Amino acid sequence: MTAHKIPLALASAALTAGMSLATLAEPMPSTVATLVELGYPAPQEGELVHIPPTMADLEKADLHPETKEVIRRGYDLFTNTQQLRGENVFNEMNCSSCHLGEGRQPFSAPIWPAAVTLPSYRGKNDHVNNLEERIAGCFAYSMNGVPPEYGSDDMLALSAYHQWLAKGAPMYPDQPIYGRGFPAPERPEKLSYQRGEELYQAQCAICHSEDGSGLYQDGEYVFPAPWGDGSNNWGAGIVRTETAAGFIKNNMPLGQPLSLSDQQAWDIAYYMTRQERPQDPRYTGDVEETLEKFGPTFHKNSSYGQVREHDSHVLGDHANWGEKGDEVTPWNVGQSRFEDLKEK
Ligand code: HEC
Ligand code: HEC
């Protein structure tokens, strides 16, 4: 995210809202000292702290020029995933729309931990996943897409980028990882849809628009869509209220992380995750049935299948798959593995 990408009108509106262009354009904090200064927790004793290398470091690295080329390609796909629109991506996002700072930023689900903790068991699909399958998961749900095939050039490039960011970190670490995921503040006793709506309209709509559709100028990505057809689908991790609250608290409004109270972050998350978006690719044709299957594991933390208070709308009760349509199902959804091992 660079200042020149912000249209002038929005930039000046952002300025009146109390942000400086300098903050908006500032690179993501990359040292623990800066993070702590900004109000993020300091590493706990025994936590694994890893600051991923940058693309500038790559140029200096002792790697074959072709290896560097592939890592650069992975970086390019991660930060401009829209180049795969219509093929692998059927919404208006990039991987870096949620994984801020090019996937390097602590407390913004940095992506390198996947490279050192996988292959391992994942409850979401009930089998052991490798790095490619984890990447495929974000394509199927967060990008409302169809992942590139295992072993394809694009998959190789993306996994190379993840592994590059993990350079020097220990494999299968025993320690918990500092800044992993979108850690949520403690859930307040009561959440309010109405307060969330007011806060969203006051602090977020300026960039993400009043109706959550984001901002695209002449087809160009400026600000992503937190809900609606251009957003992630109902199977994406960020539809869980807790994950959304963690994302918002630590990362939004852009350039003002940690400025919202815990209650505010949760209220906005509650409001945001109770808006419509493309159908979960695991949908069986019936919300209740889908909820029965995935409620205990995944949707227990989302609003899927719930009745919205002000208009009695049942969330997720539709067959709108967004731009993807209902013709294609991602290949990695519902695929079982290691059946022979399970029998033993
Ligand atoms: C709509 C938001 C969103 C988008 C877009 C998105 N992701 Fe994610 N991603 C998440 C969330 C949420 C998690 C889970 C974080 C957690 O565990 O709390 C996650 C987790 C991951 C992880 C695992 C990190 C770990 O700690 O093990 C990887 C790897 C990953 N994403 C890669 C990608 C790639 C590659 C893309 C683009 C193809 C992408 N993501 C797009 C939201 C998103
Ligand atoms: C100054 C503009 C700006 C403001 C204000 C802002 N955001 Fe964002 N937001 C962004 C940008 C830009 C990204 C994507 C980061 C990137 O592409 O580098 C983003 C990403 C997101 C995402 C992940 C992608 C998606 O669309 O789902 C969510 C959720 C989000 N913001 C919610 C919020 C909320 C809630 C607020 C208000 C508390 C807010 N934002 C305020 C600019 C803004």
- The letter for the amino acid at 277 is R
pLDDT bin (cut points 50, 70, 90) of residue 344 is low
Among the bound ligands, the one closest to the CA of 88: 1
As a whole number, mean pLDDT of residues 117-124 equals 95
Domain boundaries, the chain: 51-165, 193-324
Handedness of CA 119, 122, 126, 129 (dihedral sign): negative
By percentage, how much of the chain surpasses pLDDT 70? 91
Q: How far, in Å, CA of 317 to CA of 332, rounded?
A: 23
Give the C-alpha separation, 20 to 15, whole Å: 5
Q: Which residues line ligand 2 (CB under 6 A)?
A: 1, 14, 96-98, 100, 200, 203-204, 206-208, 223-226, 231, 247-248, 252-254, 268, 272
Give the strand pairing for 120-122 and 127-129: antiparallel
Compute how many other C-beta atoms are within 10 angstroms of the C-beta atom of residue 167. 15
- The pLDDT of residue 28: 52
Rounded to the nearest angstrom, the distance between the alpha carbon of 183 and the centre of ligand 1 is 13
Instruction: Indicate if ligand 1 lies below 6 Å from the C-beta of 114.
Output: yes
Judged against a pLDDT cut of 70, whether residue 335 lies above it is answered with yes
Task: Give the type of residue at 340.
Answer: D
Judge contact between 98 and 110, C-beta under 8 A.
no
Domains 51-165 and 193-324 share a fold: yes
Contacts of 97 (CB under 8 A, 6+ apart): 224
Q: What is the pTM of this model?
A: 0.93
Closest CA to 53 of 77, 23, 75: 75
d(CA 111, CA 115): 8
Q: Is 79 in the pocket of ligand 1 (CB under 6 A)?
A: no
- Tell which residue, 262, 103, 296, has the closest CA to residue 184: 262
DSSP class of residue 111? Answer: S
Q: How far is the CA of 34 from the centre of ligand 1 (A)?
A: 24
**Which two three-digit tokens encode residue 68?**
């560097």
Residue 172: other Cβ atoms inside 10 A: 9
Q: Which of 17-31, 50-64, 220-234 is least confident?
A: 17-31
The continuous run of DSSP H or E covering 121 comes out as: strand 120-122
- The two tokens of residue 267 are 């209220």
- Distance, in Å, from the CA atom of 90 to the CA atom of 149, rounded to the nearest integer, reads 16
Closest ligand relative to 243 C-alpha:
1
Interatomic CA distance for residues 196 and 191, integer angstroms: 8
Please provide residue 221's backbone torsions phi and psi, each rounded to the nearest 5 degrees.
-65, 125
Q: Which residue has the higher pLDDT, 11 or 263?
A: 263
What is the percentage of the chain residues whose pLDDT exceeds 90? 83
Question: In angstroms, rounded to a whole number, what is the distance separating the alpha carbons of residues 326 and 61?
Answer: 45
Encode pLDDT of 173-196 as tens digits. Answer: 999 999 999 999 999 999 999 999
Q: Torsions phi, psi of 165, nearest 5?
A: -65, -25
- Give domain 51-165's CATH superfamily: Cytochrome c-like domain (1.10.760.10)
pLDDT at 289 over 90: yes
| pLDDT, the chain, mean | 91
- 135-to-1, 143, 250 alpha-carbon distances in Å: 22, 11, 23
Ligand 2 geometric centre to CA of 80 (Å): 16
193-324 under CATH 1.10.275.10, yes or no:
no
- Ligand 1 atom at minimum distance from 180 CA: 26
Please say whether the beta carbons of 105 and 255 come within 8 A.
no
Contact (CB, 8 A) for 320 and 129: no
pLDDT at position 16: 45
